[in-house]
Amino acid sequence: MANIGVRTRLLDRLVRLSPPALLASLYLIVILLGAALLSLPFANTGGVSIYDALFTSTSAVTVTGLVVVSTGQDFTLIGQVVIALLIQFGGLGLMTFAVFVLSAIGVKIGLGQRLILREDLNQSSIGDLIKLVRVILVVALTCEAGGAVLLLAVFVPDLGWAEGTWYAIFHAISAFNNAGFGLDDQSLIPWAAHPLINFVIPLLFIVGGLGFVVLADIYDSRNWRQLSLHTKIMLYGSVCLILIGWLTFALLEWTNPATLGELNLWGKITASWFQAVTPRTAGFNTINTGEMHDATALMTMTLMLIGGGSTSTAGGIKVTTAIVLVLATIAFFRKSTELNAFGRSLGLEEVMKVLALTVVSILIVFVALFVVSITHDGTFLTLAFEVVSAFGTVGLSMGATGDLDTVGRAMIMVVMFLGRVGPLTLGFFLATHSVARVRYPKGRVYLG
């Protein structure tokens, strides 16, 4: 009876939490359950500790892809299935699955569930959330199934039908959810010049990273003019970032013998393309990331910090945030009081939101880098790369994560969690308005 009373009180406290706190709690519970499953004897080959399982579960649920043990070698097929399910839950959102199941069995979705779902999908209202859930699941399952079918042509000839089919399914799920988990310890380096790998995998994580609101808007609109401002900014910003990253990576690494230098012309072009799009929180790599030049690593970190789109499987501060920051800067130098884009204007409120999100994100990265630097004396750029990769839920690594001590790995887990759940929680406070009861006289602060 006493245990029942304790569980009841804990459940009551959980229900009384605010939507973002409850959402963060749900993610944490799934991470702990995943760690418990991955630490069981039938899920690993015996060399995985409970701490390694916790790190892997955190990385999977936050769709990051940083690893401290080999996914393909240290986990059994059951363990790999668990990781794939954790990636799916984390990428598409826990509440997305919960609402879909409840709707399928005829349970009415109440206001409380809609509020939590709103936070999980990073929406500002609760209207049309159920429709968005259906769009998310249909798009996700369709893309993953199509991607897996195409990837059969890559993996089956090399690995056989059984292992090749599982490789195709696992990598399709990991790619669409921008997770970056691979079953080969070299990620996708063995298939660096394969046409299908360089087409299917990037296509999956680009579609997954655009955002389901964008995909739904494209589906419902007949032409460019009917698209929303958010969709136009996402599409325009994504194309610009991909082209700039593609060209810059090729120029910087073209003669580097450890990355592109030993590849033929086709290999250099495709590898540059792949490495330009994968920092958008995908995490796969077809070249040795640890051997990149410092300038290339810095560019990759910038792309990782920006990330993908809102309501997507990607992380980072988001493309729209970066674009609004640029527009605000341009407006300032033009002495303009309004931000204009594609025939629409953005108010001061949007600028304040992106500033808050960016500042909080930078603070998280710097504090985490400081803590990791205290306990590990590795190369500063390498450590910074790992921390930014963790915050952007990317998964690209220059090799430092596996060398970190207990404190360093714990900090990386915290950053991965904040990178996935933090923006959702911050969005709740940004969407909460308060009217000032007292107004003070204007003052002046000298800036710059």
Contacts (Cβ under 8 Å, ≥6 apart) of 17: 25
Q: Which residues pair with 341 in a beta bridge?
A: 344
pLDDT value of position 111: 46
Residue 443 lies in a domain: no
- Give the count of beta carbons closer than 10 Å to the beta carbon of residue 337: 8
Residue 441 lies in a domain: no
Residue 19 lies in a domain: yes
Whole-model pTM: value is: 0.87
Token pair 């030049």 is at which residue? 293
Token pair belonging to 387 = 């921390």
| Three-class DSSP category at 340 | strand
Domain count, the chain: 1
Q: Which position has the higher pLDDT, 232 or 104? A: 232
Q: Is the pLDDT of residue 203 over 80?
A: yes
Q: Write out the DSSP string of 83-101.
A: HHHHHHHHHH-HHHHHHHH
pLDDT tens track for 27-63:
888 999 999 999 999 999 988 999 999 999 999 999 9
Token pair belonging to 155 = 């993996």
Give 282's pLDDT tier (boundaries 50, 70, 90): confident
Give 251's pLDDT tier (boundaries 50, 70, 90): very high
Q: Give the range of the structural domain holding residue 322, as residue numbers without chain letter.
A: 2-430
Residue 402 lies in a domain: yes
d(CA 336, CA 80): 54
Residue 442 lies in a domain: no
Give 24's pLDDT tier (boundaries 50, 70, 90): confident
Residue 270 lies in a domain: yes
Residue 444 lies in a domain: no
Q: 159-194 burial by CB neighbour count: b if 16+ within 10 A, else e?
A: beeeebbbbbbbbbbbbbbbbbbbbbeebbbebbbb
Q: CA angle, 217 as apex, 203 and 137 as ends, to 5°?
A: 60
Q: Is the pLDDT of residue 16 over 70?
A: no
Q: Is the pLDDT of residue 295 over 80?
A: yes
Residue 437 lies in a domain: no
Torsion sign (Cα): 267, 268, 269, 271: positive
Q: Is the pLDDT of residue 240 over 70?
A: yes
